[in-house]
């Protein structure tokens, strides 16, 4: 069985002083995926015995960024996305193994007043086509901060957040279409009625009150969903406004 972990760290250098290394070692994942590292190459010297790491850096300093630490050396590594218009923000690393692909992704936020929603819509279509192409070749596991709560159960205050970034009809329709295109949200597959969140605003003491959103996902191609053994949210792990999430799967 494989154990994968994903975490939007909201700045890797910042979370290093908040127990990141302790959690990394204690969780002992086969692969540990990161989003929002907010790094440029050479700005951190971080390695773990027994792991190789692969990084996608944004051109803009202190912005976005993704990485994967993996115990198993991949057959191939794809840094970034195969679309020029989406390939400057450090949003994806994809590793190919003998029997499957593993990808970390950080989906663009639609931002205040939905300034970036039109771009986000194009991203969603291009990303969906990309993962469908990969899944047509071999099973795919992808994870990360997808910046959307799919259904009302996935956030505390669905009515007051309707039409806000992360819970617009447009964004929800895109993840729904993605899931209808041969993919499974592993957490909701196992726990259809569980109200549990992975992100909380820093405002209004939201985390202590558990007024959150579930916007971090492990998604698998439908051909391996029956191999999923557990999907977890490590909500007790602090250091970021996101909690890490985990997937246990037979691969």
Active site (catalytic) residues: 106, 145
What SS3 state is found at 31? Answer: strand
Q: What is the dihedral of CA 90, 94, 95, 96, to 10 degrees?
A: -150
Q: What share of the chain is helix, strand, coil (3-state, %, to 5)?
A: 30, 30, 45
Of the candidates 211, 12, 231, 8, which has an alpha carbon nearest to the alpha carbon of residue 107? 8
Rounded CA-CA distance 201/206 in Å is: 6
Is beta strand 140-145 parallel, antiparallel or unpaired with respect to 101-106? parallel
Contacts of 70 (CB under 8 A, 6+ apart): 30, 31, 32, 51, 52, 53, 54, 95, 102
- For 114, counting Cβ atoms within 10 Å of its Cβ (0-12 exposed, 13-18 middle, 19+ buried), the class is middle
CA-CA distances (angstroms) from residue 226 to 22, 43, 137, 175, 250? 32, 41, 19, 21, 9
HSE-up (13 A, CA, CB side) for residue 63: 10
């Amino acid at each position: 069985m494989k154990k994968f972990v994903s975490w939007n760290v909201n700045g890797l250098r910042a979370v290093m002083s908040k127990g990141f290394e302790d959690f990394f070692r204690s969780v002992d994942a086969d692969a540990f995926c990161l989003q929002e590292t907010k790094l440029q190459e050479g700005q951190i010297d971080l390695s773990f015995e027994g792991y190789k790491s692969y990084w996608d850096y944004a051109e803009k300093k202190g912005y976005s960024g993704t990485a994967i630490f993996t115990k198993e050396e991949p057959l191939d590594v794809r840094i970034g996305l195969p679309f020029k218009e989406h390939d400057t923000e450090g949003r994806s690393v994809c590793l190919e193994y003998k029997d499957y692909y593993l990808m970390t992704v950080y989906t663009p936020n639609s931002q205040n007043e939905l300034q970036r929603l039109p771009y986000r819509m194009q991203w969603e279509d291009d990303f969906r086509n990309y993962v469908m192409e990969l899944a047509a070749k071999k099973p795919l596991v992808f994870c990360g901060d997808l910046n959307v709560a799919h259904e009302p159960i996935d956030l505390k205050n669905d009515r007051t957040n309707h039409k806000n970034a992360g819970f617009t009809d447009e964004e929800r329709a895109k993840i729904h279409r993605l899931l209808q295109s041969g993919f499974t949200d592993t957490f909701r597959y196992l726990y259809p009625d569980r109200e549990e969140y992975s992100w909380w605003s820093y405002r209004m003491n939201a985390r202590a009150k558990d007024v959150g959103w579930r916007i971090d996902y492990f998604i698998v191609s439908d051909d391996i969903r029956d191999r999923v053994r557990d999907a977890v949210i490590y909500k007790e792990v602090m250091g970021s406004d996101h909690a890490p999430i985990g997937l246990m799967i037979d691969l």
